[in-house]
Chain A
Amino acid sequence: MRRITKGIAALASVTLAFSIAACGGDKKEESTEAAKVDPASLSAELTWWDTSDAKNEGPAFKELISKFNQTYPNVKINYQSVPFGDAQNKFKTAAAAKTGAPDILRAEVAWVPEFASLGYLYALDGSELLADEADYLEAPLASNKFDGKTYGVPQVTDSLALLYNKELVEKAGVTVPKTWAELKTAAQTIKSKTGTDGLYVNAAGYFTLPFMYGEGGDVVDTASKKITVNSEQNVAGLKIAKDLIDSGASVKPSATDSYGTMMTLFKEKKVAFIINGPWEVNNIKTAPAFGGVENLGIAPVPAGSAKAAAPIGGHNYVIWSGVPQEKAPAAVEFVKFLNSAESQALLAEKLGLLPTRKSAYEVDAVKNNAVVSAFKPVAEAAASRPWIPEGGQFFGPLDQMATEVLIQNKDPKASLDAVAEKYKAEVVPAYSAS
C-alpha cells in the first residue's frame, strides 16, 4: 500500500499501464515528471465540492488532497463536503447566477449531461484529462459525453447486484439464482426451510430497472427518440417483479422508507436476498448482527428472458465553466491526480469504490479486494442509461409506477402507459410515444 501511494504524484501523468508495472518504488519518478511542468510553479486556489459521505468517505479524499499537495505545494484545495441531497440544486443555482459555484464538483452521473447542456461545465476534450481516455471503462465514461464532447471523468462506477446472506442460503441448501424464476424458488425455499423471508424487492423506480432490462426493455430509445417505457418487455418485466411479491417470495415492500426497511431487515438477517449496490457493503459489513463481509454473497442480478442487466450509476469529476481560464491548468492537474489509477486504487481499497480505469483493476490491492472483484463483472455488465439532459427526470414517474404496481396492486400496463404519457407531456416532449 505505502509503496504504491508513495509514487502517486509522479505516476499520475505517466501512461498508466506502464506506470503500474513500474510501480516498484523505483527512483525515476522525479525525472519523468519534471520534464513537463514544474509542479511547484502551478499556483492557484481551487474549491472542490465533494458530495460523498462526509464521515466515512471524506477522510480518504482529504488524504488524497494532502498527497496532491506534496507535489503541488502551491495549489490550495478548499475541500467542501456538500450534502448529496441538495448539491445538484445548489450547484445549478450558483452556476446560473455565475457566482459561488465550486471549481470542481463530484457530480452524479445523471447530472453531467444536464449541466453540460446548460453550459455550466468545461468541455475537457484535448486536455490531459482525456489523453488516456482508452483506459476508462466505456460505460462509465459514456455518462460524461454530451453532444460530441466530454465534460467529465468518471470517479466511481456502480450498479445493482444480487446481495445475499450466505448463511441463510446454505442453510436452505439453495444455489445462487441466475434467473428471476430461480430467485423465486430460492426465496420460497428459504422461507419454508428457515422461516426467514427470502427476498425484499424495493419498490422504487431505479430498482425496477433490472426487471425491465431483463426482458430487453428500456425507458426511452435515444437514437430513434422514442418513449419505450410502456413496451411489452417492460410490462413483462414488471409482471415478474409483481409476481415475486404476490407469490410471497418477496416481502411486501412498504410505501415509504422501503429502502431503509430493506437494509435493516437484511443487516439483521431477516431477509436472505436483496438487490442493491456496492455502496451498501460497508454498512452491511459493520452491522454487528450480519456476520461480516464473509457472510455477504455478491452475484450479478438475475436474468430475465432476454438478459441479465442492471442500470449503471456512479459519480464523475467535472469542472465548472465559470472557473477563470488561468486556473484551468491547476484544476486539470488536480482532477488528473484525483482520478489517477493509484488514487482510484486507494479509494477502492479504503472505501470499496469501484474504479473506472481498467488499469486500476490491475493493481494488486484492487485485485485482491474481494468486494471489488465480486462487483467487477457486475459493473462491466451494467447497462448504460440514456445520457440526455432530461435523464434525471425519468425517475419521479417511475417511482410512482413502482408504488402503484408493487404496493397498490395496479395493472403494470396501465401504470406504464401513465408514465409514458407523463414523459411525453413533461420530460421529453420531442420524443414520440410508442
Chain B
Amino acid sequence: MTQMATSAPVTPAAAVPVSPAPLNRPRRGRRSVGMSVLLHGTLIVASLIAIGPIAWVVLSSFKPGYAVQSTEITLVKDPTLANYEYVLFETSFPTWFLNSVIVAALTMLIGIFCSATTGYALSRFNFPGRRPLMMVFLVTQMFPVAILIVPIYTIMATLGLINTLPALVIAYLTIAVPFCAWMLKGYFDSIPTSLDEAASLDGCGPFRTFYRVILPLARPAIAVTGFYTFLTAWGEVAYASAFMQTDDKFTLAYGLQQFVPQFNAQWEYLTAAAVLVTIPAGIVFLFAQKHLVSGLTAGGTKG
C-alpha cells in the first residue's frame, strides 16, 4: 500500500512543509502480544457481527424458496444454484446491472468533480456567499426525499428526462454532492495553505493549483467520498422507482423489486440478487481502500 501511495503524481511544489518520510518507515512502538490479541479479537467479533446477517442472505440464496422462511432453522437446506440461474438468465438482470454501473460510475465521476471543486472553493476562498452556501447544502439534506419525489418528477418530465439514466444521475448528485463537498472541505482545510501559496508563486492559477497540487494530496478523502457516491447511486430505490419506467432502464436496486409481488416476496431470488449486487460494491471498496493511506506524507515523499 505504501508503494501505491508513492506513485502519486509529482507535485510541482518545491516547499512541502511535511517532513519526508522514508519508504518503509518503522512502526512506532511495538505492540505487546496481549494488545495484539485484543485488537484482533475485537476486529474478529466486529467482523462476525457485520457479516452475520449477510451470511443469512448468502445461505438463503442457495435455498429453494420454501426453505428460506421455515419453522426449522437450517444453515443449508436442499442447496441449489437455481436461484442464481433464474436471476442471471431469466430476468433482465444483466441490463439492470449495466444501467447501475453506468449510473453509479457517472454519479461518482461527476460527483467527485463537483464536490471537489466546490469543497476547494469553500475551503480556500472567502468569497461572498460561502457561509450561506454551506448552510444551503445542509438544508438540501433536511427535507425528506419522499416529499420531494412528486415535484422532482414534474421537473424531470418538463426537462424530458423521465425514463432516462441522466435523470437518476442528476437526482443522486443532489444527494451526494452536499455531503461530499462538506467532507472534502474539511479535508482540504487540513492541507496547509502554504502549498497553494508555493504553487501560486510558481505561476499556477487557482485551477492548476487545485488539480496539480491539492487534489493528489486529498486522495484518501476522494476515495471515501467516491465510494460514498458510488454506493448512493448503486443502492438507491425511491428515485429509481419513480423515474424509471421500462425494464431496459431499471437499475439493480429497483429491478430487484420485481421479485416482490403483492403477496409472498420471492426471497430466494432477492437474496441471490443481493449477493450479486454486493460483490461489485465490495470490489469497488477494495480499490477505494487502497487509497486510504496518508495522502500528506505520501505527497511529501516526492517533495
Contacts and interface: CB of A to CB of B under 8 A. Distances in A.
A98 B160 CA distance: 12
Contacts of A52: 261
Contacts of B157: 97-100
Nearest to B255: A83
B3 to A, nearest CB: 48
A84 B263 CA distance: 9
Contacts of A97: 153-154, 157, 162
A93 interface: yes
Contacts of B91: 54
Interface stretch (A130-138, A146-154, A262-270, A354-362): A262-270
Given A81-B247, A267-B66, A270-B71, A55 B150 contact: no
B68 to A, nearest CB: 9
A54 B163 CA distance: 20
Contact of B264 (A86, A283, A289): A283
B77 to A, nearest CB: 11
A260 B70 CA distance: 10
B242 A96 contact: no
Interface in A332-365: none
A358 B1 CA distance: 74
Interface string B148-163: 0110011001000011
Given A93-B150, A280-B263, A288-B66, A83 B162 contact: no
B21 interface: no
A264 B265 CA distance: 13
Contacts of B242: 89-90, 93
Interface string A258-285: 0110011101101000000001100100
B241 A86 contact: yes
Chain A interface size, as a band, is 35 or more
A268 B257 CA distance: 27
A85 interface: yes
A289 to B, nearest CB: 8
B74 interface: no
Interface in A68-89: 78, 80-81, 83-86, 89
Given A55-B259, A55-B266, A94-B153, A100 B66 contact: no
B260 interface: yes
B263 A279 contact: yes
A51 interface: yes
Contacts of A265: 71
B262 A279 contact: yes
Contacts of A90: 241-242, 245
Given A85-B260, A99-B157, A78 B246 contact: yes
B162 A100 contact: yes
Nearest to B247: A80
Given A93-B149, A100-B163, A83 B264 contact: no
Given A53-B261, A94-B245, A99-B162, A260 B153 contact: no
Contacts, number: 81
A85 B254 CA distance: 12
Contacts of A99: 157, 162
A264 B154 contact: no
Contact of B257 (A57, A86, A270): A86
A385 B157 CA distance: 36
Contacts of B263: 259, 279-280, 283
A99 B242 CA distance: 12
B92 to A, nearest CB: 10
B250 to A, nearest CB: 10
| Best-buried of B70, B153, B245, B246 by chain A (most CB within 10 Å) | B245
B249 to A, nearest CB: 10
A287 interface: yes
B69 interface: yes
B193 interface: no
Given A83-B257, A83-B258, A85-B260, A264 B70 contact: yes
Contacts of B153: 93-94, 97
B71 A100 contact: no
A53 to B, nearest CB: 4
A110 to B, nearest CB: 12
A80 B261 contact: no
Nearest to A290: B66
Contacts of A54: 91, 258-259, 261
A84 B262 contact: yes
A268 B245 contact: no
A393 interface: no
A265 B86 CA distance: 27
Given A81-B258, A83-B261, A84-B260, 8 more contacts: A53-B262, A55-B259, A83-B257, A83-B258, A97-B162, A260-B264, A270-B71, A279-B262
10 contacts: A55-B86, A57-B261, A81-B247, A85-B257, A86-B257, A90-B242, A90-B245, A97-B154, A264-B69, A279-B263
By Cβ-Cβ distance, the 9 closest A-B pairs, closest first, are: A53-B261, A83-B257, A99-B157, A84-B262, A97-B157, A100-B162, A54-B258, A97-B154, A86-B241
